[in-house]
Amino acid sequence: MTSEEGHDDHGHHLPAVEDWPRGFGEASWWPFVTAVGGAGIYVGAALYIMGIGQTTALGVAGGSIALFVLGIVGWLYHAFVKGFWDRDRSEHDENKLRWGMLAFLGSELGTFGALFGYYFFIRAGTWPPQELPHLVGSLVLINTGLLVLSSFTLHWAEGALQKGNRQNFLLGLAVTLLLGTVFIGGQVYEYYEFIVHSEFTFSSGIFGSAFYGLTGLHGLHVSLGAVLLGIVFIRALRGQYSAERHVSVSTASMYWHFVDVVWIFLVVVLYVGAEVGA
């Protein structure tokens, strides 16, 4: 964009100006796509629990997860990336986005709270409800350490951005992304060990459904957080952040710290708590 057009591009290329689907005016279809994907995940889980074609259920859940992630990426692009350089900075708008993230995290607390309520309900009965595999092993402890460390590296990256140190900001984001990816891989491997070697699956009684429901939901949130941080990292490589303009960094950071705290609570309650009295 040229200076004659009245915009300052700060020496950077502007992101793509096309946003599909456009919706109507300033509206966007991406929230609707995200909602359909999120609802489909629950539909797939319900089909699996009711035993109505496990292959179909897994297909519905997998497709819905992909649609959900696609909707989130499109939504974020529409809200944050499109027109970044020619958008005026407004403290009021930034506060609205932060409060919006807090409201979203409040709804997430309700979702996790419902599943934890289910676990506490079955925990109050005869325990253990069936033979349990060994849950607290080296893998979950290493995974927990990696996720906790990722919160520190992300906080360090934010501090570096505030000081104008772009190199350390990028380094902190990259390390955080790496740690989050390793965590997700570790959780997938843990599932493999439980399912193949311990024959402990989602259908292994009421504890199996609680365990995979909670850890799977959290894994989905970590995966979504990794997508958010990946978008932030790509934008950071393009020079789209500064000490004055970093609202999407702070909102993504709030989300990442949230999933970190939820995981610590989950480990204490689900992993350690399940073996107490077993």
pTM of the model: 0.72
Q: Hey, what CATH topology would domain 91-278 get?
A: Four Helix Bundle (Hemerythrin (Met), subunit A) (1.20.120)
Tens of each residue's pLDDT in the chain, 278 residues: 444 444 444 444 444 334 434 433 445 687 788 888 888 888 888 887 777 777 888 888 889 988 988 887 787 777 666 655 545 555 555 566 667 777 878 888 888 888 888 888 888 877 777 778 888 889 999 999 999 999 999 999 999 999 989 999 999 999 999 999 999 999 999 999 998 888 888 878 888 888 998 999 899 899 989 988 998 898 888 888 888 777 888 888 999 999 999 999 999 999 988 877 65
Distance CA 55, CA 13 (A): 45
Give the start-to-end residue ranges of the domains of the chain. 1-87, 91-278
